[in-house]
Structure 1
Amino acid sequence: MASPTSYRTLTGAVEAEIEIKRSRFLGLLAPVPDEEGAREVIAQRRADHPRARHHCTAFVLDPDSRTRRFSDDGEPAGTAGAPILDVLVGHELTYVLAVVTRYFGGTLLGAGGLVRAYGDAASQAVATARIVTHSQHVPVTVTVDYALAAAIDRMARAAGWTTESEYGAEVVVTVRIPPAELDAGLHSLADVSAGSVDPAIGAPAWSA
Protein backbone atom coordinates (compact mmCIF):
# COMPACT_ATOMS: atom_id res chain seq x y z
CA MET A 1 0.00 0.00 0.00
CA ALA A 2 1.43 3.37 -1.04
CA SER A 3 2.14 5.95 1.62
CA PRO A 4 -0.38 8.81 1.67
CA THR A 5 0.66 12.14 0.20
CA SER A 6 -2.07 14.14 1.93
CA TYR A 7 -4.37 14.03 4.94
CA ARG A 8 -7.34 15.98 6.36
CA THR A 9 -7.42 17.48 9.83
CA LEU A 10 -8.88 20.44 11.76
CA THR A 11 -7.64 24.01 11.93
CA GLY A 12 -8.79 24.32 15.56
CA ALA A 13 -11.05 22.97 18.30
CA VAL A 14 -14.85 23.13 17.96
CA GLU A 15 -17.79 22.22 20.17
CA ALA A 16 -21.44 21.26 19.68
CA GLU A 17 -24.27 20.19 21.99
CA ILE A 18 -27.40 18.12 21.56
CA GLU A 19 -30.06 17.12 24.08
CA ILE A 20 -31.99 13.84 24.01
CA LYS A 21 -34.57 12.98 26.70
CA ARG A 22 -32.96 15.50 29.06
CA SER A 23 -29.48 14.00 28.63
CA ARG A 24 -26.98 16.56 27.34
CA PHE A 25 -24.25 15.42 24.95
CA LEU A 26 -21.41 17.90 24.56
CA GLY A 27 -19.19 17.15 21.58
CA LEU A 28 -15.63 18.45 21.43
CA LEU A 29 -13.31 18.01 18.45
CA ALA A 30 -9.68 19.08 18.69
CA PRO A 31 -6.57 18.66 16.57
CA VAL A 32 -3.89 16.66 18.42
CA PRO A 33 -0.31 15.78 17.43
CA ASP A 34 -0.04 12.42 19.20
CA GLU A 35 -1.52 10.13 21.85
CA GLU A 36 -0.06 12.16 24.68
CA GLY A 37 -1.69 15.31 23.32
CA ALA A 38 -5.01 13.51 23.00
CA ARG A 39 -4.89 12.27 26.58
CA GLU A 40 -4.05 15.75 27.84
CA VAL A 41 -7.17 17.14 26.15
CA ILE A 42 -9.27 14.31 27.59
CA ALA A 43 -7.92 15.02 31.09
CA GLN A 44 -8.71 18.70 30.70
CA ARG A 45 -12.24 17.89 29.54
CA ARG A 46 -12.79 15.77 32.65
CA ALA A 47 -11.51 18.63 34.80
CA ASP A 48 -13.80 21.10 33.03
CA HIS A 49 -16.89 18.88 33.50
CA PRO A 50 -16.36 16.98 36.77
CA ARG A 51 -20.09 16.35 37.31
CA ALA A 52 -20.66 14.70 33.92
CA ARG A 53 -21.29 10.96 34.05
CA HIS A 54 -19.34 9.95 30.93
CA HIS A 55 -16.55 11.32 28.75
CA CYS A 56 -16.51 9.02 25.73
CA THR A 57 -13.64 9.44 23.33
CA ALA A 58 -12.08 8.49 20.02
CA PHE A 59 -9.01 9.68 18.20
CA VAL A 60 -7.22 9.02 14.92
CA LEU A 61 -3.52 9.68 14.27
CA ASP A 62 -0.90 9.42 11.51
CA PRO A 63 -1.16 10.48 7.85
CA ASP A 64 -2.56 7.04 6.95
CA SER A 65 -4.94 7.06 9.97
CA ARG A 66 -3.47 3.78 11.19
CA THR A 67 -3.63 4.71 14.90
CA ARG A 68 -7.23 4.54 16.14
CA ARG A 69 -8.38 4.45 19.75
CA PHE A 70 -11.77 4.77 21.46
CA SER A 71 -13.30 4.49 24.90
CA ASP A 72 -16.90 3.95 26.01
CA ASP A 73 -16.04 5.31 29.50
CA GLY A 74 -18.65 3.24 31.29
CA GLU A 75 -21.37 3.24 28.65
CA PRO A 76 -22.40 -0.20 27.30
CA ALA A 77 -19.66 -1.64 25.07
CA GLY A 78 -19.83 -0.42 21.50
CA THR A 79 -22.46 2.28 22.10
CA ALA A 80 -20.27 5.38 22.47
CA GLY A 81 -16.60 5.31 21.50
CA ALA A 82 -17.11 3.22 18.35
CA PRO A 83 -19.79 5.47 16.79
CA ILE A 84 -17.67 8.53 17.61
CA LEU A 85 -14.71 6.89 15.89
CA ASP A 86 -16.92 6.01 12.91
CA VAL A 87 -17.66 9.73 12.45
CA LEU A 88 -13.96 10.64 12.38
CA VAL A 89 -13.13 7.82 9.97
CA GLY A 90 -16.15 8.56 7.80
CA HIS A 91 -15.01 12.16 7.35
CA GLU A 92 -11.45 10.97 6.65
CA LEU A 93 -10.00 13.00 9.53
CA THR A 94 -6.72 12.31 11.29
CA TYR A 95 -4.65 13.91 14.03
CA VAL A 96 -8.07 14.56 15.57
CA LEU A 97 -9.63 13.76 18.97
CA ALA A 98 -13.35 13.68 19.71
CA VAL A 99 -14.75 13.76 23.25
CA VAL A 100 -18.49 13.51 23.86
CA THR A 101 -19.37 14.42 27.44
CA ARG A 102 -22.73 13.20 28.74
CA TYR A 103 -24.80 14.70 31.52
CA PHE A 104 -27.37 12.00 32.31
CA GLY A 105 -30.96 13.20 32.20
CA GLY A 106 -32.57 10.33 34.08
CA THR A 107 -33.97 8.40 31.11
CA LEU A 108 -32.22 5.34 29.66
CA LEU A 109 -31.79 5.58 25.89
CA GLY A 110 -31.04 1.95 25.08
CA ALA A 111 -28.13 0.75 22.98
CA GLY A 112 -29.49 2.08 19.70
CA GLY A 113 -30.32 5.43 21.23
CA LEU A 114 -26.84 5.78 22.68
CA VAL A 115 -25.19 4.93 19.36
CA ARG A 116 -27.25 7.59 17.60
CA ALA A 117 -26.71 10.18 20.35
CA TYR A 118 -22.94 9.84 20.54
CA GLY A 119 -22.59 9.68 16.78
CA ASP A 120 -24.85 12.70 16.30
CA ALA A 121 -22.96 14.77 18.88
CA ALA A 122 -19.68 14.04 17.10
CA SER A 123 -21.25 14.74 13.70
CA GLN A 124 -22.61 18.08 14.88
CA ALA A 125 -19.13 19.08 15.98
CA VAL A 126 -17.63 18.04 12.64
CA ALA A 127 -20.29 20.12 10.86
CA THR A 128 -18.98 23.28 12.56
CA ALA A 129 -15.29 22.47 12.05
CA ARG A 130 -12.91 24.00 9.55
CA ILE A 131 -11.11 21.18 7.79
CA VAL A 132 -7.73 21.62 6.12
CA THR A 133 -5.78 19.30 3.85
CA HIS A 134 -2.06 18.88 4.52
CA SER A 135 0.03 17.72 1.59
CA GLN A 136 3.49 16.20 1.58
CA HIS A 137 6.28 18.06 -0.18
CA VAL A 138 10.03 17.87 -0.61
CA PRO A 139 11.87 21.16 0.02
CA VAL A 140 14.45 21.88 -2.66
CA THR A 141 16.71 24.85 -1.90
CA VAL A 142 18.98 26.82 -4.23
CA THR A 143 21.05 29.99 -3.80
CA VAL A 144 20.83 32.27 -6.86
CA ASP A 145 20.94 35.90 -7.98
CA TYR A 146 17.83 38.08 -7.98
CA ALA A 147 16.99 37.62 -11.67
CA LEU A 148 17.18 33.84 -11.48
CA ALA A 149 15.18 33.83 -8.23
CA ALA A 150 12.33 35.60 -10.04
CA ALA A 151 12.50 33.09 -12.91
CA ILE A 152 12.43 30.14 -10.49
CA ASP A 153 9.46 31.64 -8.67
CA ARG A 154 7.54 31.98 -11.95
CA MET A 155 8.42 28.43 -12.94
CA ALA A 156 7.31 27.04 -9.59
CA ARG A 157 4.02 28.90 -9.55
CA ALA A 158 3.23 27.75 -13.07
CA ALA A 159 3.73 24.17 -11.88
CA GLY A 160 1.54 24.71 -8.81
CA TRP A 161 4.41 24.56 -6.30
CA THR A 162 4.97 27.03 -3.48
CA THR A 163 8.20 28.90 -2.82
CA GLU A 164 9.85 30.74 0.04
CA SER A 165 12.72 33.19 -0.44
CA GLU A 166 15.31 34.75 1.86
CA TYR A 167 16.95 37.89 0.46
CA GLY A 168 20.52 38.99 1.07
CA ALA A 169 23.45 39.51 -1.26
CA GLU A 170 21.91 36.52 -3.06
CA VAL A 171 18.52 34.87 -2.77
CA VAL A 172 17.95 31.53 -1.04
CA VAL A 173 14.88 30.02 -2.71
CA THR A 174 13.11 26.94 -1.35
CA VAL A 175 10.68 25.25 -3.73
CA ARG A 176 8.21 22.80 -2.16
CA ILE A 177 7.63 19.99 -4.64
CA PRO A 178 5.27 16.98 -4.25
CA PRO A 179 7.32 13.77 -3.95
CA ALA A 180 5.88 12.31 -7.17
CA GLU A 181 6.98 15.43 -9.06
CA LEU A 182 10.49 15.73 -7.61
CA ASP A 183 12.33 14.50 -10.70
CA ALA A 184 10.33 16.84 -12.92
CA GLY A 185 11.04 19.68 -10.50
CA LEU A 186 14.78 19.07 -10.55
CA HIS A 187 14.74 19.00 -14.35
CA SER A 188 12.77 22.27 -14.41
CA LEU A 189 15.30 23.90 -12.07
CA ALA A 190 18.13 22.74 -14.30
CA ASP A 191 16.37 24.08 -17.39
CA VAL A 192 15.51 27.51 -15.97
CA SER A 193 19.04 27.97 -14.60
CA ALA A 194 20.85 26.44 -17.59
CA GLY A 195 22.32 23.90 -15.17
CA SER A 196 23.95 26.52 -12.95
CA VAL A 197 22.24 25.63 -9.66
CA ASP A 198 23.18 22.97 -7.11
CA PRO A 199 19.89 22.02 -5.41
CA ALA A 200 19.86 20.86 -1.79
CA ILE A 201 17.09 18.32 -1.32
CA GLY A 202 15.54 18.27 2.16
CA ALA A 203 13.54 15.65 4.01
CA PRO A 204 9.85 15.27 3.06
CA ALA A 205 7.55 17.45 5.19
CA TRP A 206 3.85 18.32 5.49
CA SER A 207 2.14 21.67 5.00
CA ALA A 208 -1.36 23.02 4.41
Structure 2
Amino acid sequence: MRIKELKMTNQFLTIAHSGTHEFEIKKSKFIANVKRVNNEAEAKLFIEEISATHKKANHNCFAYLIGENDNIQRESDNGEPSGTAGVPILEVLKNNQLHDTIIVVTRYFGGIKLGAGGLIRAYSNSASQVIESVGIVEKLLQTQVVLTVVYSLNDKLQYYLKENGFQISKVDYGSEVKITTAALTSELENFKTNITNLLAGKVNIKTKDERYFEVPYHK
Protein backbone atom coordinates (compact mmCIF):
# COMPACT_ATOMS: atom_id res chain seq x y z
CA MET A 1 0.00 0.00 0.00
CA ARG A 2 1.30 3.44 -0.88
CA ILE A 3 1.50 6.18 1.69
CA LYS A 4 -0.68 9.26 1.36
CA GLU A 5 -0.47 11.15 -1.92
CA LEU A 6 1.60 14.35 -1.80
CA LYS A 7 1.80 17.19 -4.29
CA MET A 8 5.40 17.61 -5.31
CA THR A 9 4.94 21.34 -5.87
CA ASN A 10 4.11 22.07 -2.22
CA GLN A 11 5.36 19.10 -0.28
CA PHE A 12 7.19 15.89 -1.05
CA LEU A 13 9.13 13.08 0.53
CA THR A 14 12.80 12.26 0.27
CA ILE A 15 15.44 10.50 2.37
CA ALA A 16 16.74 12.23 5.48
CA HIS A 17 20.37 11.69 4.48
CA SER A 18 22.66 9.38 2.55
CA GLY A 19 23.41 5.97 4.00
CA THR A 20 24.43 2.35 3.55
CA HIS A 21 22.87 -0.91 4.66
CA GLU A 22 24.27 -4.41 4.26
CA PHE A 23 22.79 -7.87 4.71
CA GLU A 24 23.55 -11.41 3.62
CA ILE A 25 21.32 -14.12 2.20
CA LYS A 26 22.54 -17.58 1.22
CA LYS A 27 26.14 -16.35 1.28
CA SER A 28 25.44 -13.51 -1.16
CA LYS A 29 26.19 -10.08 0.27
CA PHE A 30 23.88 -7.19 -0.65
CA ILE A 31 25.07 -3.64 0.03
CA ALA A 32 22.56 -0.85 -0.57
CA ASN A 33 23.62 2.79 -0.87
CA VAL A 34 21.07 5.61 -1.02
CA LYS A 35 21.52 9.30 -1.77
CA ARG A 36 19.61 12.44 -2.70
CA VAL A 37 20.29 13.71 -6.23
CA ASN A 38 19.18 16.90 -7.94
CA ASN A 39 19.70 15.80 -11.54
CA GLU A 40 20.65 12.82 -13.67
CA ALA A 41 24.30 13.86 -13.85
CA GLU A 42 24.56 13.51 -10.08
CA ALA A 43 22.83 10.12 -10.25
CA LYS A 44 25.25 8.82 -12.89
CA LEU A 45 28.23 10.08 -10.90
CA PHE A 46 26.97 8.27 -7.80
CA ILE A 47 26.60 5.03 -9.78
CA GLU A 48 30.16 5.43 -11.06
CA GLU A 49 31.47 6.04 -7.55
CA ILE A 50 29.74 2.98 -6.09
CA SER A 51 30.80 0.83 -9.04
CA ALA A 52 34.41 1.97 -8.60
CA THR A 53 34.28 1.24 -4.87
CA HIS A 54 32.84 -2.22 -5.52
CA LYS A 55 34.55 -3.00 -8.82
CA LYS A 56 35.05 -6.62 -7.76
CA ALA A 57 31.34 -7.12 -7.10
CA ASN A 58 29.27 -9.23 -9.44
CA HIS A 59 26.53 -6.62 -9.85
CA ASN A 60 25.86 -2.95 -9.08
CA CYS A 61 22.14 -2.56 -9.74
CA PHE A 62 20.31 0.72 -9.37
CA ALA A 63 17.16 2.78 -9.73
CA TYR A 64 16.39 6.45 -9.33
CA LEU A 65 13.55 8.98 -9.55
CA ILE A 66 14.31 12.61 -10.38
CA GLY A 67 12.19 15.66 -11.12
CA GLU A 68 9.12 17.45 -9.88
CA ASN A 69 6.85 14.76 -11.28
CA ASP A 70 9.45 11.97 -11.41
CA ASN A 71 10.09 12.93 -15.02
CA ILE A 72 13.29 10.87 -15.00
CA GLN A 73 12.97 7.23 -13.98
CA ARG A 74 15.81 4.81 -14.58
CA GLU A 75 16.66 1.30 -13.45
CA SER A 76 19.26 -1.32 -14.28
CA ASP A 77 19.68 -5.01 -13.52
CA ASN A 78 23.41 -4.74 -14.31
CA GLY A 79 23.70 -8.36 -15.44
CA GLU A 80 21.10 -9.92 -13.15
CA PRO A 81 18.18 -11.69 -14.89
CA SER A 82 15.84 -9.15 -16.48
CA GLY A 83 13.41 -7.57 -14.02
CA THR A 84 14.93 -9.09 -10.88
CA ALA A 85 16.94 -6.12 -9.55
CA GLY A 86 16.39 -2.66 -11.03
CA VAL A 87 12.61 -2.84 -11.17
CA PRO A 88 12.21 -4.08 -7.56
CA ILE A 89 14.45 -1.23 -6.37
CA LEU A 90 12.44 1.28 -8.42
CA GLU A 91 9.18 -0.05 -7.01
CA VAL A 92 10.44 0.47 -3.48
CA LEU A 93 11.20 4.11 -4.31
CA LYS A 94 7.75 4.55 -5.84
CA ASN A 95 5.92 2.81 -3.00
CA ASN A 96 7.62 5.12 -0.51
CA GLN A 97 6.93 8.09 -2.83
CA LEU A 98 10.52 9.27 -2.59
CA HIS A 99 11.65 11.99 -4.95
CA ASP A 100 15.12 12.96 -6.15
CA THR A 101 16.53 9.74 -4.74
CA ILE A 102 18.84 7.03 -6.03
CA ILE A 103 19.58 3.58 -4.62
CA VAL A 104 22.45 1.40 -5.80
CA VAL A 105 22.47 -2.19 -4.55
CA THR A 106 25.76 -4.06 -4.86
CA ARG A 107 25.81 -7.85 -4.85
CA TYR A 108 28.73 -10.11 -4.11
CA PHE A 109 27.66 -13.57 -5.27
CA GLY A 110 28.09 -16.25 -2.63
CA GLY A 111 27.87 -19.31 -4.85
CA ILE A 112 24.25 -20.22 -4.18
CA LYS A 113 21.66 -19.20 -6.78
CA LEU A 114 18.58 -17.44 -5.40
CA GLY A 115 16.28 -17.84 -8.38
CA ALA A 116 14.22 -15.03 -9.91
CA GLY A 117 11.84 -14.79 -6.96
CA GLY A 118 14.67 -14.83 -4.46
CA LEU A 119 16.53 -12.09 -6.29
CA ILE A 120 13.45 -9.88 -6.47
CA ARG A 121 12.88 -10.25 -2.73
CA ALA A 122 16.55 -9.69 -1.94
CA TYR A 123 16.88 -6.47 -3.96
CA SER A 124 13.52 -5.19 -2.75
CA ASN A 125 14.38 -5.90 0.88
CA SER A 126 17.81 -4.34 0.49
CA ALA A 127 16.29 -1.11 -0.87
CA SER A 128 13.58 -1.05 1.80
CA GLN A 129 16.04 -1.62 4.62
CA VAL A 130 18.44 1.14 3.55
CA ILE A 131 15.51 3.60 3.40
CA GLU A 132 14.40 2.52 6.85
CA SER A 133 17.92 2.97 8.18
CA VAL A 134 18.28 6.58 7.00
CA GLY A 135 14.69 7.70 7.52
CA ILE A 136 12.31 9.80 5.47
CA VAL A 137 11.67 13.54 5.67
CA GLU A 138 8.82 15.61 4.33
CA LYS A 139 9.88 18.77 2.52
CA LEU A 140 7.26 21.47 2.90
CA LEU A 141 7.15 24.57 0.72
CA GLN A 142 6.57 27.51 3.04
CA THR A 143 6.34 31.25 2.54
CA GLN A 144 8.03 33.60 4.97
CA VAL A 145 5.60 36.09 6.49
CA VAL A 146 6.25 39.30 8.45
CA LEU A 147 3.43 40.34 10.79
CA THR A 148 3.46 43.87 12.18
CA VAL A 149 1.27 44.76 15.17
CA VAL A 150 1.04 47.27 18.00
CA TYR A 151 2.56 46.21 21.32
CA SER A 152 -0.81 45.52 22.92
CA LEU A 153 -1.45 42.71 20.40
CA ASN A 154 2.03 41.17 20.54
CA ASP A 155 1.35 38.60 23.27
CA LYS A 156 -1.92 37.51 21.69
CA LEU A 157 -0.30 37.02 18.29
CA GLN A 158 2.76 35.18 19.59
CA TYR A 159 0.59 32.91 21.73
CA TYR A 160 -1.56 32.04 18.71
CA LEU A 161 1.46 31.27 16.53
CA LYS A 162 3.12 29.05 19.13
CA GLU A 163 -0.09 27.21 19.99
CA ASN A 164 -0.72 26.43 16.34
CA GLY A 165 2.79 25.23 15.53
CA PHE A 166 4.10 28.24 13.62
CA GLN A 167 7.79 28.82 14.26
CA ILE A 168 8.81 32.38 15.09
CA SER A 169 12.19 33.01 13.49
CA LYS A 170 12.60 36.68 14.38
CA VAL A 171 11.01 39.44 16.47
CA ASP A 172 11.90 43.10 15.96
CA TYR A 173 10.85 45.64 18.59
CA GLY A 174 10.58 49.16 17.24
CA SER A 175 7.69 51.60 17.14
CA GLU A 176 5.66 48.44 16.51
CA VAL A 177 6.42 44.72 16.78
CA LYS A 178 7.46 42.83 13.65
CA ILE A 179 7.22 39.05 13.91
CA THR A 180 8.71 36.85 11.21
CA THR A 181 7.22 33.38 10.78
CA ALA A 182 6.37 31.01 7.92
CA ALA A 183 3.25 29.27 6.66
CA LEU A 184 2.66 26.49 4.17
CA THR A 185 2.41 28.13 0.77
CA SER A 186 -0.64 26.03 -0.01
CA GLU A 187 -2.31 27.33 3.17
CA LEU A 188 -1.06 30.91 2.98
CA GLU A 189 -4.38 32.57 2.24
CA ASN A 190 -6.08 30.72 5.10
CA PHE A 191 -3.23 31.73 7.40
CA LYS A 192 -3.61 35.39 6.46
CA THR A 193 -7.37 35.24 6.94
CA ASN A 194 -7.05 33.61 10.36
CA ILE A 195 -4.50 36.17 11.54
CA THR A 196 -6.62 39.04 10.26
CA ASN A 197 -9.71 37.71 12.02
CA LEU A 198 -7.78 37.02 15.22
CA LEU A 199 -6.59 40.63 15.43
CA ALA A 200 -9.72 42.24 14.00
CA GLY A 201 -7.75 43.50 11.03
CA LYS A 202 -5.20 45.35 13.17
CA VAL A 203 -2.17 43.72 11.54
CA ASN A 204 0.04 44.39 8.56
CA ILE A 205 0.95 41.21 6.67
CA LYS A 206 3.84 41.06 4.22
CA THR A 207 4.89 37.90 2.41
CA LYS A 208 8.51 37.27 1.44
CA ASP A 209 10.50 34.33 0.05
CA GLU A 210 9.45 30.72 -0.41
CA ARG A 211 11.68 27.85 0.64
CA TYR A 212 11.46 24.20 1.62
CA PHE A 213 11.58 23.15 5.26
CA GLU A 214 12.24 19.55 6.31
CA VAL A 215 10.36 17.71 9.02
CA PRO A 216 10.55 14.02 10.04
CA TYR A 217 7.95 11.89 8.32
CA HIS A 218 6.20 8.85 9.78
CA LYS A 219 3.90 6.59 7.78
Please indicate the TM-score interval, normalised by the length of the shorter structure: 0.7 to 0.9
Checking the alignment, whether the CA contact within 8 Å between 2:105 and 2:126 is kept in structure 1 is yes
Checking the alignment, whether the CA contact within 8 Å between 2:6 and 2:12 is kept in structure 1 is no
Q: CA, structure 1 residues 142+12, in 2 after alignment: closer, same or farther (shift >3 Å)?
A: same
Cα deviations across residues 30-50 of structure 1 (Å, max 9, x unaligned)?
Answer: 233333332332222122212
Deviation at 1:84, TM superposition (A): 0.6
Distance (whole Å) between structure 1 residues aligned to residue 190 and residue 131 of structure 2? 38
**1:109 aligns with one of 90, 111, 114:** 114
Aligned to 1:182: 188
1:105-184 equivalent positions in 2, closer than 5 A:
105-143=110-148, 148-167=153-172, 169=174, 172-184=178-190
The worse-fitting range, judged by mean Cα deviation, of 12-21 and 183-192 is 183-192
Deviation at 1:20, TM superposition (A): 2.8
Q: Give ranges in structure 2 of 5+ residues lacking alignment.
A: 215-219
**Equivalent residue letter for 1:202:** K
Q: Give ranges in structure 1 of 5+ residues lacking alignment.
A: none
Deviation at 1:184, TM superposition (A): 2.5
Distance (whole Å) between structure 2 residues aligned to residue 98 and residue 91 of structure 1? 13
Q: CA, structure 1 residues 187+58, in 2 after alignment: closer, same or farther (shift >3 Å)?
A: same
Distance (whole Å) between structure 2 residues aligned to residue 95 and residue 149 of structure 1? 41
Identical amino acids, percent of aligned pairs: 33
1:2-81 equivalent positions in 2, closer than 5 A:
3-4=7-8, 5-62=10-67, 64-81=69-86
Q: CA, structure 1 residues 79+200, in 2 after alignment: closer, same or farther (shift >3 Å)?
A: same
> Secondary structure in 2 aligned to 1:157?
helix
Checking the alignment, whether the CA contact within 8 Å between 2:15 and 2:131 is kept in structure 1 is no
Aligned to 2:213: 207
**Equivalent residue letter for 2:102:** L
Checking the alignment, whether the CA contact within 8 Å between 2:149 and 2:204 is kept in structure 1 is no
> Secondary structure in 1 aligned to 2:124?
helix
Could you say what the CA RMSD is over the residues aligned between the two structures, in angstroms?
2.9
Aligned to 1:85: 90
The worse-fitting range, judged by mean Cα deviation, of 56-65 and 113-122 is 56-65
Q: TM-score, normalised by structure 1?
A: 0.81
Distance (whole Å) between structure 2 residues aligned to residue 152 and residue 43 of structure 1? 53
Distance (whole Å) between structure 2 residues aligned to residue 178 and residue 185 of structure 1? 9
